[in-house]
Structure 1
Amino acid sequence: MTVKHLSVEYNKVNERGTFSPGDIITGRVIAVTNKETKVQCFLVRAKGKAEVTWHEQEGLTTVVHSDKKEYFYFEHIILQDKNKGDGSEIIGPGRNVYPFTFKIPNIVMPSSYEGKWGKITYSLRAQLTQSIWLVHKTKTEFPFLTKAEFPFASKSEMIIIGLKEQQCATRISFFGSGKVTMNVTSERMGVKQGEAIGVSVEVLNDSTRTLTPRFYLCEKQTFVAQSKRTVHSNDILFGTGDSVPAGTSQTITKVMSIPPQTPPTFFNCCMMKLEYRLKVTLDVPLARDSEIKLPLVILLGSPKPHQQKPKRSIWFRKLPG
Structure 2
Amino acid sequence: MTVKRLSVEYNKVNERGTFSPGDIISGRVVVVTSKETKVQVFLVRAKGKAEVTWHEQEAQAPVVHNKKIYFCFEHIILQDRNKGDGSEIIGPGRNVYPFSFKIPNKDMPSSYEGKWGKITYTLRAQLTQSIWLVHKTKTEFPFLTKSEFPFASKSEIIIIGLKEQQCVTRISFCGPGKITMKVISEKMGVKQGEATGVSVEVLNNSPCAVTPRFYLREKQTFAAQSKRAVYTNDILLGTGDFVPAETSRTITKVLSVPPQTTPTFFNCCMMKLEHSLKVTLHVPLARDPEIKLPLVVLLGSPKPHQQKAKRWRCVSLSRHPIERIWSSKCTLYLLK
1:184 deviation in Å? 0.2
Equivalents in 1 of 2:234, 2:86: separation in Å?
A: 57
Equivalents in 1 of 2:302, 2:177: separation in Å?
A: 44
Equivalents in 2 of 1:290, 1:157: separation in Å?
A: 27
What's 1:259 paired with?
258
Q: Identity over the aligned pairs, expressed in percent?
A: 82
TM-score when normalising by structure 1? 0.90
2:231 maps to a residue whose letter is H
Equivalents in 2 of 1:4, 1:283: separation in Å?
A: 60
1:176 deviation in Å? 1.8
CA contact 1:194–1:259 (8 Å) conserved in 2: yes
CA contact 2:78–2:87 (8 Å) conserved in 1: no
Q: Residues 61-88 of structure 1: CA distance to partner in whole angstroms, max 9, x if unpaired?
A: 7110010000000000000012399997
What's 1:119 paired with?
118
Q: Residues 171-206 of structure 1: CA distance to partner in whole angstroms, max 9, x if unpaired?
A: 011232312110001110000001111111000111
CA contact 2:282–2:288 (8 Å) conserved in 1: no
Query: Pairwise mapping of residues 1-321 of structure 1 onto structure 2 (< 5 A)?
Result: 1-57=1-57, 62-83=61-82, 89-154=88-153, 156=156, 158-159=158-159, 161-285=160-284, 287-288=286-287, 290-302=289-301
| Range 170-179 or range 272-281, more displaced | 170-179
2:44 maps to a residue whose letter is V
- In structure 2, stretches of 5+ residues that fail to align are 304-336
Shift in alpha-carbon separation, 1:287–1:34, aligned structure 2, 3 A: same
Equivalents in 1 of 2:236, 2:92: separation in Å?
A: 57
Equivalents in 2 of 1:272, 1:8: separation in Å?
A: 29
* 1:69 aligned counterpart, secondary structure: strand
1:250 maps to a residue whose letter is R
Equivalents in 2 of 1:302, 1:195: separation in Å?
A: 10
* 2:278 aligned counterpart, secondary structure: strand
CA contact 1:151–1:265 (8 Å) conserved in 2: yes
2:210 maps to a residue whose letter is L
Equivalents in 2 of 1:240, 1:9: separation in Å?
A: 45
CA contact 2:260–2:302 (8 Å) conserved in 1: no
CA contact 1:177–1:209 (8 Å) conserved in 2: no
1:146 deviation in Å? 0.3
1:162 deviation in Å? 2.2
* 1:207 aligned counterpart, secondary structure: coil
* 2:151 aligned counterpart, secondary structure: coil
TM-score when normalising by structure 2? 0.86
Report the number of matched residues: 302
* 1:62 aligned counterpart, secondary structure: coil
- In structure 1, stretches of 5+ residues that fail to align are 305-321
